[in-house]
């Protein structure tokens, strides 16, 4: 069986403080034929200069001329990817040893698995471990559409998935709240999830995270996000049914 190729997709916005350690932790796990696609979302700090200084042929960088936000930037990276397996990566975390190899071992031996999530350690701005398990803080990972629709457990920086799922994931509707929720819920409909119960990412928590760790106190936003997800998932499922019917 041929080796599964890897594309790592990363969105960067003003990430100069933590970007280089994260890139190093990723490159150390990639093989010669793999790729790291970075979309710089109109950073105004030294992130573009840091990326230009890297002479690794596995790195591919695209720069947004204006800030498009995290969802659109990840979508751009995923669209440009070519690997059999796509990993999502934040710019401010650190990948722990074995992350890529352990995910690829599951994909290679379990052809039914289309998406993998893993646990993550929590670290602060100084790399101190502030939590041994993301899911000890958030509640244990569970599959199931309804469970994840109510309380999303798909943390983007821990996800990897087969390229075949892009037919369902893309394009991402304009008002979907976050790409990881969208990917995870659609995978519950069209694929099969697998959870590696081991921290394989050091998930950095600081004042500028795009995703809050605790969502209590955000009820209006939660309700608004769930409505957008329900509406767009319904449309995507209906589109798929019509396409299947027309090709039958």
Residues 163-221: pLDDT tens digits? 999 999 999 999 999 999 999 999 999 999 999 999 999 999 975 555 555 555 588 99
Lowest mean pLDDT among 61-65, 188-192, 242-246: 242-246
pLDDT at 77: 98
Q: What is the mean pLDDT of residues 223-245?
A: 93
Q: For residues 4 and 85, is the Cβ–Cβ distance under 8 A?
A: yes
Mean pLDDT, range 42-71, rounded to an integer:
97
Compute the mean pLDDT over every residue in the chain, rounded to the nearest whole number. Answer: 94
Determine the distance from the C-alpha atom of residue 176 to the mean position of all C-alpha atoms in its chain, rounded to a whole number.
15
Extract the tokens encoding 152. 């999303």
Report helix, strand or coil for 38.
strand
Distance of CA 33 to the CA centre of its chain: 21
Contact of 87 with 103, CB cutoff 8 Å: yes
What DSSP character marks residue 59? E
The distance from CA 55 to its chain's CA centroid, rounded to whole angstroms, is 25
Q: How far apart are CA 112 and CA 10, in angstroms?
A: 26
pLDDT of residue 211: 58
* Residue ranges of domains in the chain: 6-247
Number of Cβ within a 10 Å radius of residue 106: 15
**Which DSSP helix (H) or strand (E) runs through 96?**
none
Q: CATH assignment of 6-247, given 3.40.1450.10, 3.90.550.10, 3.40.50.300, 2.102.10.10?
A: 3.90.550.10
């Amino acid at each position: 069986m041929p080796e599964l190729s890897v594309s790592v997709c990363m969105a960067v916005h003003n990430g100069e403080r933590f970007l280089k350690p994260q890139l190093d932790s990723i490159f150390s796990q990639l093989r010669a034929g793999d790729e790291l696609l970075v979309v710089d979302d109109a950073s105004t700090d030294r992130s573009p200069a840091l990326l230009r200084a890297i002479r690794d042929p596995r790195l591919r960088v695209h720069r947004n001329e204006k800030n498009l936000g995290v969802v659109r930037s990840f979508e751009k990276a995923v669209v440009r990817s070519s690997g059999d397996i796509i990993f999502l990566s934040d710019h401010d975390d650190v990948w722990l040893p074995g992350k890529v190899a352990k995910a690829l071992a599951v994909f290679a031996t379990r052809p039914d698995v289309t998406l993998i999530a893993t646990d993550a350690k929590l670290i602060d701005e100084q790399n101190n471990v502030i939590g041994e398990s993301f899911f000890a803080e958030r509640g244990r990972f569970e599959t199931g559409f309804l469970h994840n629709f109510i309380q999303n457990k798909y943390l983007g920086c821990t996800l990897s998935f087969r390229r075949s799922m892009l037919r369902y994931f893309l394009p991402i509707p304009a008002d979907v709240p976050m790409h990881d929720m969208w990917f995870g819920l659609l995978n519950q409909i069209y694929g099969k999830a697998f959870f590696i119960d081991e921290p394989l990412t050091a998930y950095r928590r600081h004042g500028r995270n795009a995703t809050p760790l605790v969502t209590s106190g955000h009820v209006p936003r939660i309700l608004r996000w769930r409505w957008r997800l329900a509406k767009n998932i319904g449309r995507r499922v209906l589109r798929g049914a019509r396409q299947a019917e027309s090709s039958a």
